[in-house]
Amino acid sequence: MRKITFSDATREAMAEEMEKYPEVFVMGEDIARQGGIFGQFKGLPDEFPGRVIDTPISETFIVGGGVGAALGGARPVVDMHFADFIGVCMDEVFNQMAKARYMFGGQAKIPLVLRAPDGLAGGGAAQHSQSVESWFIHIPGIKVVAPSNPYDAKMVLKAAIECDDPVLYFENKVLYKESGEVPEKEDEVPYTIGKARVEREGKDVTIVSYSIGMKNARAAADLLAKDGISAEVVDLITLSPWDKECVLNSVKKTHRLCLVSECVKQGGALAEVAATVAEEGLEYLDAPILRYGAPFTPIPFAPTLEKLYRVYPEDLVKGIKGVL
């Protein structure tokens, strides 16, 4: 099977959707002339002139204008440059984008995708490295996705664009460059937002993650396998509304749950998973729920410090062995 990068996978998704739906367009900072700071829009402006739009540095317009365009009948994709900047336009996200449908009694449809590159990139420090997904899973009315590999990157983005609800699409900056198998278009299997995937079956522990956290999950599962411990790895893919059933079914099988993500552990996106398993599947747990995430600090700049911010597969292995 052909291998392409995560970045190219998202570009393919965009191109296919723009081809299919003339009302799809994309706007953001530095996406047309530059092709996106991570190259994720390269080539699109030539392919779809006038539909890849460089905006001023105006996040409230990028998102608010996207919501307005959706209300006006278009199917916008808007780009956040860095996920860290969503705070600038938070009102547009949680009071406008998320609420329009409900508060207008279902009259509005907001088929909008907000793309947000996130995560540690090496020296991005406090305002250019964050993973902020957990803020948004607290908001009813928007959907939150965070794929972990090129194939999902493509299929999830296509599903997000075709979705009539607003979707926050978190794409990890480190993953952009990673290659993975992506089938030809005719062999693609569409993704349904809200579905998790058991990426690897196991029986001793369930490791749940998403986005770049999946690298830790997979690596930990490999290490554990060497010691005869069989880990089931679940890629959540959609963080809201998330696939409770998939996780609960896995925990019912393995009786242990380990959660890992790059975001700050306190109030992290997977805290909801932990809480739900405790609420609805406590009787299946044979060990405390393990959670791995970043410490409760802003992200430091110096490499020596940034290193401490990260989670490593060995952390998971140690923790899991401790409860087996």
Annotation marks residue 138 as catalytic? no
Quote the CA–CA distance of 261 and 265 in Å, as a whole number. Answer: 8
Quote the CA–CA distance of 112 and 163 in Å, as a whole number. Answer: 8
Find the shortest distance in angstroms from Cβ 64 to another protein. Answer: 3
Between 108 and 121, whose beta carbon lies closer to another protein?
Answer: 108
Question: Which residues make beta-bridge pairs with 238?
Answer: 145
Find the shortest distance in angstroms from Cβ 262 to another protein. Answer: 26
Q: Strand 238-240 and strand 143-145: pairing?
A: antiparallel
Token pair belonging to 188? 């693609």
Catalytic option among 81, 128, 138, 255: 128
Between 20 and 307, whose beta carbon lies closer to another protein?
Answer: 20
> What is the Cα Rg of the chain in Å?
19
Between 150 and 166, whose beta carbon lies closer to another protein?
Answer: 166
Find the shortest distance in angstroms from Cβ 97 to another protein. Answer: 10
Q: Strand 238-240 and strand 231-235: pairing?
A: unpaired
Between 122 and 140, whose beta carbon lies closer to another protein?
Answer: 140
Residue 228, classified by CB atoms within 10 Å of its CB into exposed (0-12), middle (13-18) or buried (19+), is exposed
Token pair belonging to 138? 């607290």
Find the shortest distance in angstroms from Cβ 227 to another protein. Answer: 16
Between 24 and 175, whose beta carbon lies closer to another protein?
Answer: 24
CA distances from 211 to 19, 175, 227, 288, 318 (A): 27, 8, 26, 24, 22
Between 25 and 135, whose beta carbon lies closer to another protein?
Answer: 25
For the stretch 283-299, what's the b/e string if a residue is b when 16 or more beta carbons lie within 10 angstroms of its beta carbon? ebbebebbbbbbeeeeb
Find the shortest distance in angstroms from Cβ 108 to another protein. Answer: 7
Find the shortest distance in angstroms from Cβ 14 to another protein. Answer: 15
Q: Name which of 85, 121, 86, 146 is nearest 310 in CA terms.
A: 121
Between 208 and 320, whose beta carbon lies closer to another protein?
Answer: 320
Q: Strand 3-5 and strand 179-181: pairing?
A: antiparallel
Q: What are phi and psi of 100, to 5 degrees?
A: -55, -40
Q: What is the distance of C-alpha 84 from the center of its chain?
A: 14
Find the shortest distance in angstroms from Cβ 320 to another protein. Answer: 11
Beta strands in the chain (DSSP E): 3-5, 24-28, 52-54, 75-79, 113-118, 143-145, 167-172, 179-181, 197-200, 205-209, 231-235, 238-240, 257-264, 290-294
Which residues lie near another protein (CB under 8 A)? 22-23, 25, 50-51, 53, 55-56, 58-61, 63-74, 76, 91-92, 95-96, 99-109, 140-141, 143, 163-165, 255, 282-288, 322-323
Q: Which residues are catalytic?
A: 128
